[in-house]
Amino acid sequence: MQNLTPSEHAALERIEHDPMLARVQHWAATNSGSGNLAGLKATADMLADSFASLPGDLQLRTPEPVEKVRSDGAIEIVEHGSHLVLTVRPEASVQLLFTGHMDTVFGADHSFQEQRWLEDGILNGPGVADMKGGISVMLAALTAAERMPEFDRVGYQVMINSDEEVGSPSSAPLIAELAQGKLAALTYEPALPDGTLAGERAGSGNFSVILTGKSAHAGRNPDEGRNAVVAAADLALRLKSLTRAGLSVNPARIEGGSPNNVVPDHAVLRVNFRPKTPENVIETEKLLRKIVAEITIEHEVSVHLHGSFGRPPKPIDEGSARLFSLVKSCGADLGLDVAWKSTGGVCDGNNIAACGVPVVDTMGVRGGSIHSADEFLIIESLVERARLSALTIMRIAAKGAL
């Protein structure tokens, strides 16, 4: 470590590996799949106990109601777990936001539940990288920063939500609320195994399109029917044809249908859009509604469009470029070569950036194979990334700006 002040050096030296790893293994031992409400509650309670070591007001916030389209076209309310929010020094002139998620993609009935050592220094387990390792990094970094005298001029909020892996549908309004007035934000998604960060991110829109036709006998009077499955297939092909530079379209599933001798009067099309710019989002929304209107007329079916672009695109604007530059500079002083690249993946960083707040959203551990049973955490990165995060935070505090 070089170019550090004595107080920076002292704070970073107190970041310890063993407690960080112990937290990760403790938290990862409890299944917290996005739909496992009992596991999410247990995890939220554990996180609340851990983050209570920081000053401030800690709450478990009730999730917003979320609608979901069932395969039969009915709309139901889906329950999500509570979201942890810690507020520290809300009166301070400089305000920061730190976010993470407690949920994983592995449900309570998934086969991947146990941790094991792949080799010395490489831990395999559900959520160890994405992102219980990242949450441990966040807590260690904030604990270290709180030891700096200058840090008392900074206020911040921590949000750890329970639904990031399903698009943050119940926490998106909370993210927008907490982002207001923040100078900058750090999110603790895992970096790549070599430490590369995510830079620009495409956006993401998920839609369920409910199509209702008219049933008829497939042999006696098929012309009197209006085939919802055919309309859905036509819609899927037309939407797929929108794919071009700056936009990827993935019609993912058609549900519905009927016995072979009946013209099907019901179908649901699930489709995902990945626009790279805000302009792509506006244009895609217009084209989507235009094509839906055409399908409605040409197939004589009714069409209900349900969904939204829940993850706006995340470009690297001037503020984000300054924040990335600061992280890179801090990395250099710690002997780390910090780089970043564009990615098609999405996260809560998309939502934060859409509020006009500079954000680096891969400040978590180095790891890989996330969302699979091969997920792994490189444990030496726990202290490494906590120091990177803590130094970044402390230098924002010292300067009072980016």
Residue 344: is its pLDDT beyond 90? no
The pLDDT, as a whole number, for residue 209 is: 98
Q: Angle of helix 132-145 relative to helix 381-399, nearest 10 degrees?
A: 40
Query: Per-domain residue ranges for the chain?
Result: 6-201+312-399, 204-311
* Per-residue pLDDT, 149: 87
What is the C-alpha separation between 212 and 292, in angstroms, rounded? 13
Residue 245 has pLDDT above 90, yes or no: yes
C-beta of residue 172 within 8 angstroms of C-beta of residue 80: no
Instruction: Identify each DSSP E strand in 188-228 by its residue range.
Output: 197-201, 204-212, 216-217
In this model, does residue 17 exceed pLDDT 90?
yes
pLDDT in tens, 122-178: 999 999 999 999 999 999 999 999 998 889 999 999 999 999 999 999 999 999 999
Q: What is the pLDDT of residues 230-241, one digit of tens each?
A: 999 999 999 999
User: What pLDDT is stored for residue 151 in this prediction?
Assistant: 92
Q: Using one digit for the tens of pLDDT, what is the confidence trace for 100-118?
A: 999 999 999 999 999 999 9
* 2.60.40.420, 3.40.630.10, 3.30.565.10, 3.20.20.140: CATH of 6-201+312-399: 3.40.630.10
**Does residue 197 contact residue 187 with C-beta atoms inside 8 Å?**
no
- Segments in 306-369 forming alpha helices (H): 318-333, 348-354
Q: Are 321 and 199 in contact (CB under 8 A)?
A: no
Q: Given this structure, which CATH class describes domain 204-311?
A: alpha beta
The whole-number pLDDT of residue 255 equals 98
pLDDT per position as a tens digit, 55-100: 999 999 999 999 999 999 999 999 999 999 999 999 999 999 999 9
- Percent of the chain past pLDDT 90, that is, above it, reads 98
The predicted pLDDT at position 2 comes to 85
**Each residue of 346-380: pLDDT tens digit?**
999 999 999 999 999 999 999 999 999 999 999 99
Three-class SS string for 67-133?
Answer: EEECCCCCEEEECCCCEEEEEECCCCCEEEEEEEECCECCCCCCCCCCCEEEECCEEECCCCCCCHH
pLDDT of residue 1: 80
What is the rounded average pLDDT of the residues 305-320? 96
Give tens-digit pLDDT for 172-211: 999 999 999 999 999 999 999 999 999 999 999 999 999 9
* pLDDT for position 44: 98
Give the pLDDT score at 150. 84
pLDDT category at 217 given cuts 50, 70, 90 is: very high
Q: Please, what is the average pLDDT of the chain?
A: 97
The average pLDDT across 213-239 equals 98
User: Which pLDDT belongs to residue 75?
Assistant: 96
